[in-house]
Chains A and B, each alone.
Chain A
Amino acid sequence: MTDETAKDYDAEMHEPTHFFTKYIWSQDHKVIAVQYSITAMAIGLVALVLSWLMRLQLGFPGVFDFIDQEAYYQYVTMHGMIMVIYLLTAFFLGGFGNYLIPLMVGARDMVFPYLNMLSYWVYLLAVLVLVASFFVTGGPTGAGWTLYPPQSILPGTPGYDGGIILMLVSLIIFIVAFTMGGLNYVTTILQARARGMTLMRMPLSVWGIFVATFMGLLAFPALFVSGVMLLLDRVIGTSFFMPEIVSLGEPLAYGGGSPLLFQHLFWFFGHPEVYIVALPAFGIVSDLLSVHARKAIFGYRMMVWALLAIGVLSFIVWAHHMYVSGMDPAFGYFFAVTTLIIAVPTAIKVYNWTLTLWKADIHLTIPMMFAIAFILTFVFGGLTGLFLGNVVVDVPLSDTYFVVAHFHMVMGVAPILVVFGAIYHWYPKITGRMLHEGMGKVHFWVTFLGTYAIYFPMHYLGFVGVPRRYYDYEDIEFIPDSVADLNMAITIAALVVGAAQLMFIYNLVWSLIWGKKADSNPWKANSLEWQTPDTPPKHGNWGVEMPTVYRWAYDFSVPGAAEDYMPQNMPPQPFEAHRAAHPEEGPEEDKPGEDKPEEGGT
Chain B
Amino acid sequence: MARNNHTPSEKTPAPIGRHEELLTDWASDREAFKNVSWGKSMMWIFLLSDTFIFGTFLTGYMTVRMTTTVPWPNPSEVFALTIGGVELPLVLIAIMTFILISSSGTMAMAVNMGYRGDRKKAGILMLVTALFGLSFVSMQAFEWTKLIHEGVRPWENPFGAHQFGATFFMITGFHGLHVSVGVIYLTVVAIKVLKGDYERRGDYQIVEITGLYWHFVDLVWVFIFAFFYLW
Contacts and interface: CB of A to CB of B under 8 A. Distances in A.
A258 B64 contact: yes
A179 interface: yes
Given A198-B28, A222-B52, A261-B67, A183 B155 contact: no
A238 interface: yes
A549 interface: yes
Contacts of B33: 190-191
Interface string A84-124: 00000000000000000000000000011000000000000
A261 B64 CA distance: 8
Interface in A176-199: 179, 183-184, 186-187, 190-199
Contact of B31 (A191, A226, A232, A239): A191
A222 B56 contact: yes
Interface stretch (B2-10, B83-91, B109-117): B2-10
Given A179-B46, A236-B154, A238-B166, A194 B9 contact: no
B68 interface: yes
A228 B9 contact: no
A579 B97 CA distance: 66
Most buried by A among B39, B49, B163: B49
Contact of A218 (B26, B48, B69): B48
Main secondary structure of the interface of B (DSSP, over half): helix
B144 to A, nearest CB: 15
A6 interface: no
A196 B162 contact: no
Nearest to A228: B170
A232 B170 contact: yes
A237 interface: yes
A199 B170 contact: no
B60 interface: yes
Contacts of B50: 221
Contacts of A257: 64, 67-68, 163
A256 B9 contact: no
B67 A224 contact: no
A224 to B, nearest CB: 6
B45 interface: yes
Contact of B8 (A190, A195, A253): A195
Given A196-B7, A256-B161, A187 B45 contact: yes
A255 B64 CA distance: 11
A548 B27 contact: no
B21 to A, nearest CB: 16
Contact of A238 (B6, B59, B154): B154
Given A232-B154, A257-B67, A572-B9, A221 B38 contact: no
A225 interface: yes
B166 A195 contact: no
Given A225-B53, A232-B154, A550 B9 contact: yes
B36 interface: yes
A551 interface: yes
Contacts of B170: 228-229, 232, 238
Contacts of A551: 9
Interface string B30-70: 11110010110110011011101101110110011001111
Contacts of B203: none
Given A112-B42, A218-B52, A265-B60, A253 B7 contact: no
Interface residues of B, number: 44
Contacts of B38: 111-112, 187, 191-192
Given A225-B60, A240-B64, A256-B68, A186 B45 contact: yes
Contact of B162 (A197, A201, A239): A239
A112 B38 CA distance: 8
Nearest to A224: B53
A218 B56 contact: no
A503 interface: no
Given A198-B29, A229-B170, A255 B162 contact: yes
A193 B26 CA distance: 12
A217 interface: yes
Contacts of B68: 255-257
Contacts of A222: 52, 56
A200 interface: yes
B53 A221 contact: yes
A261 B60 contact: yes
B223 to A, nearest CB: 15
Contacts of B8: 195-196, 548, 550
B30 A199 contact: no
A237 B36 contact: no
Contacts of A265: 56, 59-60
Most buried by B among A195, A225, A226, A261: A225
Nearest to A549: B29
Given A199-B27, A257-B64, A190 B32 contact: yes
Nearest to A268: B56
A256 B70 contact: yes
Interface in A545-581: 548-551, 572
A212 to B, nearest CB: 14
Given A179-B46, A183-B42, A183-B49, 8 more contacts: A112-B42, A179-B49, A226-B60, A239-B166, A255-B162, A256-B67, A257-B67, A261-B67
The 9 closest A-B pairs by CB, nearest first: A256-B68, A221-B52, A238-B166, A225-B56, A258-B67, A221-B53, A237-B155, A111-B38, A217-B49
Interface of A: 111-112, 179, 183-184, 186-187, 190-201, 217-218, 220-222, 224-226, 228-229, 232, 236-240, 243, 253, 255-258, 261, 265, 268, 548-551, 572
22 contacts: A183-B46, A183-B49, A191-B30, A191-B32, A193-B30, A196-B29, A217-B48, A221-B52, A222-B52, A224-B53, A228-B170, A229-B60, A229-B170, A236-B154, A237-B155, A238-B162, A238-B170, A240-B60, A253-B155, A257-B67, A258-B67, A550-B9
Interface of B: 6-10, 26-33, 36, 38-39, 41-42, 45-46, 48-50, 52-53, 55-57, 59-60, 63-64, 67-70, 154-155, 161-163, 166-167, 170
